[in-house]
Amino acid sequence: MNIGENKVRFDPLRLEDISKAITRADIIDLIKDRAIMKKITKNSKIKKEKKRKGTGSVKIRVKNRKMKYMAKIRKLRRYLSELKNKKVISDNEYRYLRKLSKAGQFKARRNLKEYLVAVMKKTLPAPPKEKKS
């Protein structure tokens, strides 16, 4: 039955037959006749295994966080390179702002723009107007 001694249940009406059983074959017959049975427990091994969380769920969470970070940092770096190419910021300022964005100083492009206007006193070029057709 592959279970421990405490998990075995004997039929109280068949205790006499169980006590007379000597050989392995006798025990097997009693198991087939349901005189010897497994106890049903609440916390079975199957339930405990279902509760376990593998490392895969952690990897997925990390990957999602990484993908969000990559998308954000690429947008910020692209915007910084545009500003550098348009000569709005110098090379030193570009390096400094790039380090700040890597450190997580800016949540989005909007925060970067606010920082440039408020702290660095830069005037940003107006965004191109879309033509109506």
Residue 94 lies in a domain: yes
Cα R_g (the chain), whole angstroms:
36
Residues 79 and 114 in one domain: yes
Q: How far apart are CA 2 and CA 66, in angstroms?
A: 46
What mean pLDDT value characterizes the chain? 85
- pLDDT tens-digit map of 65-80: 999 999 999 999 999 9
Domain count within the chain: 2
Residue 123 lies in a domain: no
Residue 102 lies in a domain: yes
Give the model's pLDDT for residue 4. 81
Residue 18 lies in a domain: yes
Taking residue 70's Cβ as centre, other Cβ atoms within 10 Å add up to: 10
Q: How far apart are CA 81 and CA 88, in angstroms?
A: 10
pLDDT band at 126, cuts 50/70/90?
confident
- Owner of token pair 């198991």: 31
Helix, strand, or coil here: 106? coil
Cβ contacts of 76 within 8 Å, gap of 6 or more: 101, 106, 109, 112
Q: Which of 29, 4, 2 is nearest to 17 (CA)?
A: 29
Residue 2 lies in a domain: no
> Domain residues for 100?
66-118
Between 6-10, 83-87, 96-100, the lowest mean confidence (pLDDT) is in 6-10
Task: Judge contact between 27 and 14, C-beta under 8 A.
Answer: no
- pLDDT tens-digit map of 5-50: 888 888 888 888 888 888 999 888 988 988 888 887 766 565 556 6
**Alpha-carbon distances, residue 9 vs 41, 49, 111 (angstroms):** 12, 24, 69
Domain of residue 17, CATH code: 1.10.1650.10
